[in-house]
Amino acid sequence: MSETSPKLRAELEGIPTYKPGKPAAAGGPAAYKLSSNENPYPPLPGVMETVAASASAFNRYPDMACTALTAELAERFGVPASHVATGTGSVGVAQQLLQATSGPGDEVIYAWRSFEAYPIITRISGAASVQVPLTPGDVHDLDAMADAITDRTRLIFVCNPNNPTGTVVRRSELERFLDRVPGDVLVVLDEAYREFIRDTEVPDGVEIYRERRNVCVLRTFSKAYGLAGLRVGFAIAHEPVAAALRKTAVPFGVSQIAQDAAVASLRAEDELIGRVGSLVCERNRVMDALRTQGWTVPETQANFVWLRLGESTVPFAQACEQAGVVVRPFPGEGVRVTIGETEANDIFLKVTEGFRKGV
């Protein structure tokens, strides 16, 4: 066999690989997975039946335009159907946004630490990442992000709430930031955890999109709606951007099962609201308990909490796993822990208590 290999793009050298949350090992000590910000609930009522019915037709390609889902979303948000673009999870749509806007010589700004896919998909596009550190309180530093804009900036991610810290940016600071962004730079409001927000000062990105042509909102069915495994997310954006998303979409990327499950989930809204409410109650209980134990935890508006543990991150994650829950360590920085089943949250709180006491 020849010694030469096909030439690959230089951008792929040294690309960080996406580290998925570790699963709970079958038969291992860790029975609960709190490492991927998933929803602990089973599918919403009616969704399994819908999926079973769609499954009987998977010898056929799906509806490439996601017509029914797009129409349902357009009606729900009060936007033209042409402003809705679907994709294989919101990370898939984010990658399409980069393909549509950015390439070699361009710059993409985002806070850091934030969603770990941003550096990966930016690198793949050929553009350069401009990472702006979070404030000491683990919040987006929007002034510094605006200062970082240059003639090369093509796209800015604002992750609200931020993954992995759960922190939010509020209406007035976001509006002030947007006023400083040139109209030809796309601002992507990544609202993967929107449904868990209870702080009324946090704006709904869709309302901001209505006022600004350079704002695009990303949402997903993976978190509150519990369809992470089916891979469906969407953007709401003005016509030129939404049209570009249709051009960059992987043909037939969203399966018919995913499309039908998403529509059925939207129609099970009452149950969804109840479940999200229960998770928010659990989040509040966990936050209160952590603070009572003496931890300093940033205020979270998502379905996870962030503990800045520095060098203790890995030993803490190991202690959690031994106790029965898998969490998401970012070595040297901190641990992100998803709010899961009550029993799982209780195990986590036992570990944090032991850690505080140095046990």
Residues that bind ligand PLP (CB under 6 A): 37, 89-91, 115, 159, 163, 190, 192, 220, 222, 228, 233
| d(C-alpha 301, C-alpha 54), whole Å | 35
User: Residue 93 or residue 178: which is nearer to ligand PLP going by CB?
Assistant: 93
State the minimum distance, in angstroms, from the CB of residue 31 to ligand PLP: 22
User: Residue 91 or residue 127: which is nearer to ligand PLP going by CB?
Assistant: 91
State the minimum distance, in angstroms, from the CB of residue 80 to ligand PLP: 23
State the minimum distance, in angstroms, from the CB of residue 172 to ligand PLP: 22
User: Residue 264 or residue 302: which is nearer to ligand PLP going by CB?
Assistant: 302
| d(C-alpha 322, C-alpha 214), whole Å | 47
User: Residue 85 or residue 319: which is nearer to ligand PLP going by CB?
Assistant: 85
User: Residue 154 or residue 231: which is nearer to ligand PLP going by CB?
Assistant: 231
User: Residue 28 or residue 229: which is nearer to ligand PLP going by CB?
Assistant: 229
Place of tokens 């029965």: 324
State the minimum distance, in angstroms, from the CB of residue 139 to ligand PLP: 15
User: Residue 51 or residue 159: which is nearer to ligand PLP going by CB?
Assistant: 159
State the minimum distance, in angstroms, from the CB of residue 2 to ligand PLP: 38
End-to-end CA separation in angstroms for the chain: 57
State the minimum distance, in angstroms, from the CB of residue 62 to ligand PLP: 17
Strands 32-33 and 84-87: unpaired
User: Residue 39 or residue 90: which is nearer to ligand PLP going by CB?
Assistant: 90
State the minimum distance, in angstroms, from the CB of residue 105 to ligand PLP: 26
**Sequence-ordered list of residues with C-beta below 8 angstroms from that of 37, at least 6 positions apart, any chain:** 21, 163, 193, 223, 302, 303, 304, 336, 338
- Closest CB to ligand PLP: residue number: 89
State the minimum distance, in angstroms, from the CB of residue 327 to ligand PLP: 14
